[in-house]
Structure 1
């Protein structure tokens, strides 16, 4: 059953407009009587039946509210040093499927891609759309937020409001460090927030790593192998899901 995140709700109905209406009518070829799932801004989902299709909107009657819990029990923010090409799109899409709460791209010293304020608006809009589509496909109840790219010092300020903070640092993997990430996962409780920083293709510089450490981040190795920039965030999310969802 197709899922849609809908901002407009009137009593016992959802009103789906713009891209959602187009997808229902032109892509899925749905008709009145067909059922969909609608999710409101509070993260509540409901089975709905299409009641009316107009030139401007699709009106869907609420049949039954769902009580399912599909979100990770902790809020995980993935901060990525800007990678090349479409790697960030891949991280956002797959990271959304795996339960990330939000994404923060940032300009690292070794990022080949540089901040461009003129283009950041359109890029952020595209990234947010990718997150929405991935959240619908994976039947989540929340769409992760995707921020516009920020600089490194803003990243440090942004990290102040989190319960736990870790950095995937390849030099720690090379030295055999394996305990810090595991210790952090063992401390996490339902409702906690976790901020994880990943470098770009060239990794974080030693200066960046030390600055993060000075701001209460734990430097972590993610096993004995060196992971690509687009692989490491997914590895971390998979480990979190295993620890907090499958093992409990």
Structure 2
């Protein structure tokens, strides 16, 4: 059943879907009155709805049943990625959303090949957020992960004060055989707490960047004996978090 995030809850019994959602329902899916969809509010509540009417500008959907349960991870995982080249960040956002990430924070790193163009910021962030929304709908999330505008590493250390735990995925730790920090951190976390984890771009983080982060309360951790690509490492961590909190019971 197709899922749509919408803030247009007219009352507890009706949703109005407009804009891109309207286009997708009417032009892409070619739905008609009587078809069922799932509508999700901005607060994460979802309902099975039946399309009651399709006008020239909106779809009116009646609530059939409010769903129970929550498909979100019990902890908030925030992915901070050093700006990678090509479409790798889009891949991280899409797959990271499917795996349960709560937020994405791109940052400019010393070894980032891509340089952030503030003139194109609006369209870029809009595209990233659209990728997040579509992935959240596809994976039946209750929220849409937010994607921040890229920050500097210094700004990232300031943002980090808002999170419960802070880690750096650092390949040098993997090379030395470090294998306990991530596991120990997850074991310390309780439901509702947050983890900000930093991943370098291609080429990794410089020793100076790691020093700055550790001076601001970050712990460096390895992700197993293999060296992972910048777009693979966040998915490894999210999978480990899901296993720890959702499967290892």
- Which residue in 2 is equivalent to 1:230? 231
- Whole-angstrom CA distance in 1 between matches of 2:123 and 2:172: 35
The residue number in structure 2 matching 1:89 is: 90
Find the aligned partners of 2:233 and 2:16 in 1 and give their Cα distance. Answer: 39
Q: What does residue 9 of structure 1 align with?
A: 9
> Unpaired segments of 5 or more residues in structure 2?
none
Number of the residue aligned with 1:34: 35
Query: How far 1:150 moved relative to its partner?
Result: 1.0
Unmatched 5+ stretches in structure 1: none
TM-score if structure 2 supplies the norm length?
A: 0.99
Q: Deviations over 1:14-65 (max 9, x none)?
A: 1100100000001111000000000000100000000110111101001100
Task: Give distance in 2, aligned partners of 1:237 and 1:188.
Answer: 14
Distance, in Å, in 1 between the alignment partners of 2:82 and 2:190 is 27
Q: Which residue of 1 aligns with 2:177?
A: 176
Query: For 1:153 and 1:125, how far apart are their aligned partners in 2?
Result: 24
State the distance in 2 between where 1:215 and 1:21 align: 46
**Equivalent residues in 2 for 1:1-248, closer than 5 Å:** 1-11=1-11, 12-248=13-249
Query: How far apart, CA to CA, are the structure 2 residues paired with 1:142 and 1:165?
Result: 23
CA distance in 1, matches of 2:122, 2:79: 19
Q: Aligned residues, how many? A: 248
Instruction: After TM superposition, give the deviation of residue 160 of structure 1 in Å.
Output: 0.5
Give the 3-state SS of the residue equivalent to 2:151 in structure 1.
coil
Structure 1 residue 151 displacement after superposition: 1.1
Off by >2 Å, runs of 4+ in structure 1: none
* Offset at residue 68 of structure 1 (A): 1.9
Q: 1: distance between equivalents of 2:2 and 2:116? A: 36
Return the alpha-carbon distance in structure 2 between the equivalents of residues 50 and 229 of structure 1: 43
In structure 1, C-alpha distance between the alignment counterparts of 2:163 and 2:56, rounded to whole Å: 45
Shift of 1:179: 1.0
